[in-house]
Structure formats: C-alpha cells, structure tokens
C-alpha cells in the first residue's frame, strides 16, 4: 500500500498534473489583459500552440502550415461550439459521427445550428466506413468527428473520413482534445479544416481555456453572424494578430499554458508522442497480465488510444464497483469510471501530459491492490514486469 503522504496522482483523463513551473506561472502578480506584459505571455502561448498543431508527427516533420491557432477563454466544449456555429447555419447539413460521449456532444451542439445526420456506432465500436461514405454526399456542408474518443479509449480514423469529406467539398471539424499534444495529428494530410483541443489534457495546462487551429485559407468560410457573439471567430482572428482576445482573458491560465507549451517544445513532439505510446502500451500489457479485458471493440482503421486506456471490469467487480474505485482512491490515485451507460462497467486511466514511467507503475500497482481488495486475485509483480517490457522497449 502506498504512503498517503504521496502527492495525489491524477490518472483520470483530465485535468492532468501540472508541473511546478506551470503552477508558479499562474501565481505571478496580476496584470491587465490589455497590457504589454500580458501580450508577451499571449504571444508565447500562440507560438507554442503553433508548434503543437503544426508538428504533430512522429518524426518532427510539419503536419500543417499557414493556419491560425486561437486561444478561447473556455473549455473544449466552448471550442467545439465555436467551430460548428462559425461554419454552418440553419440551412446547412452536418454529418456527426458518434461512437462515444464526445461524439454525441458534437452532434448535440450541431443540432442547435443546422440539420444533422448522425452516423452512430455503439460506444467503443469502430465506425462502418461504408455507412460514413453513404451519409456524406454533395448536400453535406460539415462533418464532425472525435479523433480520440475519451469515453471509450478508441482512436478513430480521421484520415479516412477526411478523404470522404474532401471528395464532396464538406468542411471537416475534428475534436483532438485528448490526442493533440500527445499523439500524432496530421492536420493538412487528413484534410482537417478546424481542429479543437483543450488545455487540461495532453497539453498539461490548467483547465479553463482551450484552443483551435483554423487551417490556411479557411477564414473565408466563417459565418460569425450564425453563432454566439462571444465566439465570433472572425473577431478572434483579428484580435489574435495583436496578441489579445476580444474580451477579458484568463491571465493566469494563459500564463500557465504558455509555460506548459514551452515544456512540450523542450521535450519535442516526436519524443512526447513516443513516450505516450509506450506508456499506453505499458498500461495495456499490465492489465492484460491481470486477466482484465480491454473495453473497446477495435476494427481497422480504428485503433487503441495512446492517451486513454479503457478496461472492462470483471463481473464480480462490477457488482461492487464503488468499492473498487474507493480502494484506488485510498492509495491517493485518481482514475475514472465509465461515462453514461458505461458507469460501473469499465474503468479508464490516462497517461496524458508529463507523467513519468514511475507514475505509470504506481497507477498499475494501485489498480492491482484495489482489485485484490475486492477479491479479484491478480499478479501485481507480473503486471509490472509486463509494463516494464513496454516502457524499456
């Protein structure tokens, strides 16, 4: 059992742990959001976002050029709504791809602004690409999709859907909330017109702000009069050129994000992607060694997430899932259960952000000890050995 004096280990899929430098940046004296001092911090954040969005490859090659990164003063749900509401209106048609909670959220947002066709799969299942192709015809103006479905641990085939959207000249908006900054994301190659991410996920920044990347030349597609006044992206683009936002900025959060993004640049995206992928494999290997079943049903071209691992609880543990989660929490480790109808059926662990390999080992041990406490016998040392094989590979 771990010493309760150990700092709380956040392994839930956001918010993620913050570095000491990020926390210190947020504690600096307050300045005006219209001051030169803040504009310098905003410029740092914008520069970091450009690096993240435009260098999302395993080898460090450019994945986008010429686009515009924007900071929004709200979490990713605000950014998702900004993306949809600025690109479509009541006469337009949106195809929403839904195989988890956040695909559903995109669909529900789109229903407020346009006519929506839904291509749905069971939560945790892969999309039928033939059904996707059939739904995206010449009448479709916009397609929404989640890259890394946080609720189920599925990595969806953005590239394949981007090709379908491009064939009918439909705009393509992608939620990269739990992939951008932690896994490969190829904006230009995948035909993404607007990508969304959140501060509190793989960017290892404080919660409360989010970011989008508007691909080169897409400003002309914006229809700001259709959407909320607060998220008029035309106005945001104009103010970003002056290193400001249209309204009051969350000064401490922007400072924290700027520092976190500089830490990512120091690590480099190729190293960060490789680390996330190794840690995700370690989680999967360890839980397999505990005789636990992965939750998602994966068929190519979908894949397992490299930032969120979802595991089916054994039947005997499901009957007392609260005791299992309480036993994990007693070790000062935070993991997540299932969302929606999956509550009590699965657990999810995240390796987003700046987690060390020792953090991953600690999480594995905490889950193993909790399972033992509810009478599911596991070989914790064997699980750790399986994880080490992946971490050291």
- DSSP, collapsed to helix, strand or coil, labels residue 191 as coil
Residue 64 contacts residue 215 (beta carbons within 8 Å): yes
Nearest partner of 120 among 134, 131, 105, judged by Cα: 131
Q: Is residue 2 part of a domain?
A: no
Model confidence at 1, pLDDT cuts 50, 70, 90, reads very low
Q: Is residue 1 part of a domain?
A: no
User: Does one domain contain both 110 and 36?
Assistant: yes
What predicted TM-score, i.e. pTM, was given to this entire model?
0.95
Residue 208 contacts residue 250 (beta carbons within 8 Å): yes
Residue 309 contacts residue 283 (beta carbons within 8 Å): yes
- Tens of pLDDT along 51-76? 999 999 999 999 999 999 999 999 99
Q: Is residue 365 part of a domain?
A: yes
pLDDT for residue 392: 94
User: Does one domain contain both 323 and 352?
Assistant: yes
Q: Is residue 4 part of a domain?
A: no
Nearest partner of 144 among 186, 181, 183, 196, judged by Cα: 196
pLDDT for residue 232: 96
Q: Is residue 387 part of a domain?
A: yes
- Tens of pLDDT along 287-344? 999 999 999 888 899 999 999 999 999 999 999 999 999 999 999 999 999 999 999 9
Output 225 or 175, whichever has higher pLDDT: 175
User: Does one domain contain both 104 and 213?
Assistant: yes
Q: Which of 267, 287, 315 is the last residue of a domain?
A: 267
Q: Is residue 209 part of a domain?
A: yes
pLDDT for residue 353: 98
Query: How far is the C-alpha of 345 from the C-alpha of 312, rounded, in Å?
Result: 6
User: Does one domain contain both 197 and 277?
Assistant: no
Residue 183 contacts residue 190 (beta carbons within 8 Å): no
Q: For the domain that residue 315 is a member of, what is the CATH number?
A: 3.90.1150.10
């Amino acid at each position: 059992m771990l010493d309760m004096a150990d700092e709380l280990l956040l392994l839930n899929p956001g918010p993620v742990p913050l570095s000491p430098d990020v926390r210190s940046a947020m504690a600096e004296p307050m300045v005006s959001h219209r001051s030169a001092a803040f504009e310098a911090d905003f410029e740092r954040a914008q520069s970091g976002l450009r690096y993240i969005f435009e260098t999302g490859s395993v080898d460090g090659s450019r994945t986008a050029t010429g686009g515009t990164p924007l900071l929004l003063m709200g979490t990713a749900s605000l950014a998702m709504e900004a993306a949809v509401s600025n690109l479509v209106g009541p006469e337009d048609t949106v195809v929403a791809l839904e195989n988890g909670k956040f695909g559903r959220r995109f669909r529900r947002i789109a229903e407020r602004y346009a006519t929506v066709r839904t291509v749905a799969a069971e939560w945790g299942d892969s999309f039928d690409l033939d059904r996707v192709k059939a739904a995206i015809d010449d009448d479709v103006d916009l397609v929404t999709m989640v890259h890394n479905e946080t609720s189920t641990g599925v990595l969806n085939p953005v590239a394949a859907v981007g090709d379908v959207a491009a064939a009918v000249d439909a705009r393509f908006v992608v939620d990269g909330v739990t992939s951008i900054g932690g896994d490969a994301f190829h904006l230009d190659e995948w035909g993404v017109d607007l990508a969304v991410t959140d501060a509190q996920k793989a960017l290892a920044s404080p919660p409360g702000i989010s970011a989008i990347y508007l691909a080169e030349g897409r400003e002309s597609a914006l229809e700001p009069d259709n959407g909320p006044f607060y998220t008029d992206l035309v106005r945001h683009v104009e103010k970003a050129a002056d290193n400001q936002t249209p309204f009051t900025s969350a000064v401490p959060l922007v400072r924290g994000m700027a520092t976190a993004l500089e830490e990512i640049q120091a690590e480099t995206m190729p190293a960060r992607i490789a680390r996330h992928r190794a840690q995700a494999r370690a989680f999967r290997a360890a839980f397999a060694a505990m005789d636990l079943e992965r939750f998602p049903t994966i068929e190519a071209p979908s894949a397992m997430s490299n930032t969120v691992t979802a595991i089916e609880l054994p039947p005997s543990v499901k009957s007392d899932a609260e005791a299992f989660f309480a036993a994990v929490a007693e070790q000062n480790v935070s993991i997540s259960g299932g969302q929606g109808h999956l509550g009590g059926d699965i657990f999810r662990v995240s390796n987003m952000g700046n987690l060390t390999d020792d953090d991953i080992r600690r999480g594995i041990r905490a889950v193993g000890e909790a399972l033992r406490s509810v009478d599911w016998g596991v070989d914790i040392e064997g699980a750790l050995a399986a994880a080490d094989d992946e971490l050291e590979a």
